[in-house]
Homo-oligomer: A and B are copies of this chain.
Amino acid sequence: MIERIEGGVCAAKGFTASGVHCGIRKNRDKRDLSLIYSVCPATAAAVYTTNLVKGAPLAVTKAHLADGTARAVICNSGNANTCNANGVEIAEQTCELLAKELGIDAKDVVVASTGVIGQPMDIAPFAAGIPALVSSLSTEGSAMAAEGIMTTDTEMKEVAVAFQAGGKTCRLGGIAKGSGMIHPNMATMLVFLTTDAAISPKMLQKALSCDVTGTFNMLSIDGDTSTNDMVTVLANGLAGNAAIDAEGEDFTAFMEALNSVTVALCRMIAGDGEGATKLLECTASGAKDLETARTVAKSVICSSLLKAAMFGADANWGRVLCAIGYSGADVDVNRVDVSFRSAAGTVEVCRNGAGVPFSEEEAKRVLLEKEIEILVGLGDGGYGASAWGCDLTYDYVKINGDYRT
């Protein structure tokens, strides 16, 4: 039983959060520094971008999480702290300043940055902002923290659930930033998760690593894998459940709760992709194995041509077939079925690799909705997978034609 609840990263017991404007961004109305804090030590796990060019904060976070514990997450927007001369130094100083203010060990701080790559970074705004950031920590602070990590996002992204483990009610929630340079591989954009479930560092990492392969790694806005992607989860154990330290019923319950939160965040990130007007979800079923299902679903969601067609509400299913054909998956294209589905109905457009007659008007009505499912049947087995993306629009071009200036 997983129940959706309010509170984002503060839904779990013992977590507070805040977000302030510290001066990294010029616009004083935009928060640019966020904090998540656990009143007691928490086990922690993370996954990181596979990009060889990595943001400096990732190296610092990785070192800090080597012991599997953390108490605080600090993240700025407006500057990626990547490909500059003093990145690691700034990230370390940030952790030290925060640790001093909170009275904790700097090694218990997770640090992250998002924004433009290759810009000089200064410690001054952090030094100026951290006291206010700490003093404004609150159990109501999730939304402020979610706001502080936004870049070109148009909507704040937070979600939380309650679930049962070992007879206790546990909570798990998260915030995310998405929008552009999103094509995670092994990790993703920035996602910060908190839970009051008690779980060992090893099982927490296992749960997270396993989950991202079917969630954030199946998400693409523009095919560009960022240098700063990170998903991190802190578990402080205040729910009082017997610590989850092996596979079993409780671990399964935890995995299900985690998945419900990460899928919800994936959908939010995809639907709020840069310039997006539509959330696209491709579900490939009937695959001979999971890898094939995932490869097909992700290839479809990444096709620029299909993304543009969806923007135009054009049922150009040939582009779905084309994307399946070049995906690299071993499929029999003569068995492929394709339908489009939305709140307005379902329209079948292709059966056994060839077109079937359909009403263009009905297809238009289905595709004019905000959330579109592309259903691909492979007729070759029992495996399935979903991938999430968005349409390609004029605004994507506009946002990225002059993002930096």
Contacts and interface: CB of A to CB of B under 8 A. Distances in A.
B400 A321 contact: no
A305 B180 contact: yes
B52 A400 contact: no
B53 A322 contact: yes
B355 A225 contact: no
A223 interface: yes
Interface stretch (A3-11, A167-175, A191-199, A309-317): A309-317
Interface stretch (A76-84, A141-149, A245-253, A283-291): A76-84
A354 B85 contact: yes
Interface string A375-405: 0000000000000000011101111111111
A333 interface: yes
A321 B224 CA distance: 11
A50 interface: yes
Interface string A15-58: 00000000000000000000000000000000000111110000
Given A181-B322, A225-B326, A355-B83, A118 B394 contact: no
A84 to B, nearest CB: 6
Interface residues of A, number: 65
Q: For the complex, would chain A's binding face be called helix, strand, loop or mixed by DSSP majority? A: loop
Contact of A314 (B54, B326, B404): B404
Contact of A317 (B118, B350, B403): B118
Tell me the number of copies of this protein: 2
Given A225-B326, A322-B117, A354 B308 contact: no
Contacts of A51: 322, 325-326
Contact of A400 (B83, B308, B331, B398): B308
A321 B223 contact: no
A392 B397 contact: yes
A308 B227 contact: no
Given A226-B322, A318-B82, A305 B118 contact: no
Given A314-B404, A316-B403, A224 B322 contact: yes
Contacts of A222: 304-305
Contacts of A316: 116, 403-404
A353 B87 CA distance: 12
Interface in A172-230: 180-181, 183, 185, 222-227
Contacts of A54: 325
B394 A185 contact: no
Contact of A304 (B117, B227, B304): B304
A346 interface: no
Contacts of A82: 318
B405 A360 contact: yes
Nearest to A357: B120
Contacts of A314: 401-405
A69 interface: no
A134 interface: no
A85, A185, A397, A405, most chain B CB atoms within 10 A: A397
A367 to B, nearest CB: 11
A333 B183 CA distance: 20
A117 B397 contact: no
A11 B305 CA distance: 35
A119 interface: yes
A323 interface: yes
Given A322-B227, A325-B53, A326-B185, A312 B400 contact: yes
Given A116-B316, A181-B322, A311-B401, 17 more contacts: A51-B325, A85-B354, A118-B354, A120-B355, A180-B305, A181-B319, A223-B223, A223-B303, A227-B318, A227-B321, A227-B322, A227-B325, A308-B396, A308-B401, A315-B404, A392-B400, A396-B397
